[in-house]
Amino acid sequence: MLKLVQKFLRINRYSDIKNEFKDLFLSHPNYPSLFAITDSLDLLSIENAAIRVPKEQIVDLPSNFLAYYNDELTLVEKAKNDVRITTIKKGAQKISYEKFLLDWNGVIVAIEPNNVIARDNLRIEYSWLKYGMPFILLIGLSFFYNTYDLFSVIFLITSTLGFIVSVFIVQEKFGFKNSIIAKFCNLSTNSSCNSVINAAEGTENKLFNFSDLPLLFFTASFIAMLIQPLDSAIFIGFLSLLAIPIVVSSIWIQKFELQKWCVMCLVISSLIFIQSCIWFSSDLFILTFSFESVFPFVFSLLFLIPIWLTVKPMIKNVLNSENSLKELKKFKRNYSLLNFLSKKVPDIDGLEELRGLNFGNRNAIIKLSVVISPSCVHCHKTFHEAFDLVLRFPDKIYLNVLFNINPENTENPYKIIVERILTINRATPGKTVEAISDWHIKKMSLKKWLKKWHVEPVSIMISQEINKQYEWCSKNNFNYTPVKIVNEKLFPNEYELSELKYFLNDFVEEVEVLEKIA
């Protein structure tokens, strides 16, 4: 399902946020539901709609959308005479409009296309250039310092291809998904690289899995061919011939036991078969082995084995940590847990009467208040996160910024910042954002900030307001900053304020339910 939605995002030019969507979607407490998809899109500020439409209105629908076809989430791309549908099980296929309408239940998820043109092609070209250039340079150096004949060139090509395919096999083993390889591996209903590669789960504790062998063999072969191409081809061809029984065994297992074909495994088998045939049918067959023919491969293999045995568990640990982190995020994003940890403000009376700095929609269901102090280092982050939430969700969040500072403490050098910010907010509210951002986001020095934001003498009304905010904090024993309040409840310290975005829809639903009851 994830790959399907990511493809949907890519088609609508949202490639830059595919990974961010993945993180939100996989950690959503309702994963893998339709709500998890739309909620994650909401958090990314992507305009979307999940609705049921009459089937006769299909001509008015966007050119692509997600739909439930045969009770399965499907990516639908409309064409003039047919519909291209992509499903998780069967991949892409073209069907007629009549057939689609027959098994479509009318539910769709549509998004607003990104107006900024994505540079996918440029990114792909850069990616291939970044990873391919080192190989091109190494091969170029090898051709410059060594002599190649036709057979050694063929062995270099097959070893390079084998190395690349082996890397993809190991990626599949570890769970890294590649859209190009996924298409390659699912050419038919009888092919599944994942099923074959992960068939022998019982060998996980062994030093080497079956998927490790092609990687070690072809990597060592590639390095050996770069070092000593003419001599190394002799020994590599001989080893390929010895590997034929393993190739036959692999094909037998795929055909009769698993009844699934691994396309990448078949490519590896074909390359080994080609190398062995070339070695057996050429003059290399009658040549005897020498130190020059054996040493490059053996040296490369002995060099690679300890590296792989060290790197492999590290990769596994990283993947396990990522999976554990996803589960923890999913647990943490449970609204019931947040609600349980949220405590009521001891004495909420008087909060609405305080005149702080206000941002966002006054009629928003979510009322966020932050009590900060200009001398508090942690308050920089709190204000930044709170203001960022309002910028991203201006219709859902109303932000009220209050200050907790003792007005009678004349020795506090930061008191004047609060006085001037409140004065600016009252006299020229259009400059309030810049003034407070200079201090809490840009983190200007006190001297520089005071020089930029010089105001008239502070009025009695501003001093009284600072005193009211201070007394309200004292009444609630808020002798610390920052304090974060969401809809009259203290936002738990176990959460970052930026994580409030995960619960926006939950807060909205809760308030709507309470309003209906009332």
Helices and strands counted in the chain (H then E):
20, 12
**126 domain-assigned:** no
- Cα–Cα distance, 25 to 22 (Å, whole number): 5
**131 domain-assigned:** no
**356 domain-assigned:** yes
Is there a contact between 158 and 275 (Cβ–Cβ < 8 Å)?
A: yes
424 and 364 in a single domain? The answer is yes
- Cα–Cα distance, 170 to 161 (Å, whole number): 14
181 and 233 in a single domain? The answer is yes
**Strand partners for 87:** 91
249 and 380 in a single domain? The answer is no
378 and 316 in a single domain? The answer is no
- The CATH number linked to 26 is 3.90.70.10
- Cα–Cα distance, 515 to 430 (Å, whole number): 34
Side chain identity at 295, as an amino acid letter? F
The token pair at 146 is 């060594």
388 and 485 in a single domain? The answer is yes
Q: What number of other Cβ atoms are within 10 A of residue 290's Cβ?
A: 11
412 and 485 in a single domain? The answer is yes
Select from 278, 298, 328 the last residue of a domain.
328
Select from 64, 90, 111 the last residue of a domain.
111
**456 domain-assigned:** yes
**46 domain-assigned:** yes
283 and 386 in a single domain? The answer is no
pLDDT score, position 125:
47
Select from 55, 86, 111 the last residue of a domain.
111
**359 domain-assigned:** yes
3-class DSSP state for residue 398?
strand
The token pair at 1 is 């399902």
pLDDT score, position 119:
47
Structural element, H or E, at residue 95: strand 91-95
Dihedral sign for Cα atoms in the order 115, 117, 123, 125: positive
Could you list the pLDDT tens digit for every one of the 518 residues in the chain? 788 888 888 888 887 787 788 888 887 777 778 888 888 888 887 888 888 888 888 888 888 889 888 888 888 898 888 888 888 777 788 888 888 888 888 888 888 887 754 444 445 445 566 667 887 888 888 888 888 888 889 999 999 999 999 998 888 888 776 666 776 777 777 777 877 887 755 545 566 778 888 999 999 999 999 998 888 888 898 899 899 998 998 899 888 888 888 889 999 999 999 999 888 877 655 555 677 778 899 999 999 999 999 998 898 888 888 778 778 878 888 888 999 999 999 999 999 999 999 999 999 999 999 999 999 989 999 999 999 999 988 888 999 999 999 988 888 899 999 999 999 999 899 999 999 999 999 999 999 999 999 887 888 999 999 999 999 999 999 988 999 999 999 999 889 999 999 898 888 888 777 777 76
177 and 294 in a single domain? The answer is yes
- The CATH number linked to 483 is 3.40.30.10
313 and 357 in a single domain? The answer is no
The angle, 0 to 180 degrees and rounded to 10, between the axes of the packed helices 229-242 and 244-252 is: 50
505 and 417 in a single domain? The answer is yes
* Total domains present in the chain: 3
Output the CA–CA distances (angstroms, integers) from residue 383 to 45, 474, 480, 504, in the order listed. Answer: 21, 21, 15, 18
**144 domain-assigned:** no
Pairing of strands 343-344, 489-490: antiparallel
The token pair at 286 is 């009658």
Is there a contact between 90 and 189 (Cβ–Cβ < 8 Å)?
A: yes
Domain range for 295 is 149-328
101 and 166 in a single domain? The answer is no
**277 domain-assigned:** yes
User: Taking the model in full, what pTM does it have?
Assistant: 0.64
299 and 154 in a single domain? The answer is yes
Output the CA–CA distances (angstroms, integers) from residue 304 to 22, 59, 308, in the order listed. Answer: 33, 58, 6
- The CATH number linked to 181 is 1.20.1440
Question: Which of 328, 324, 359 lies closest to 495 in space, CA to CA?
Answer: 328
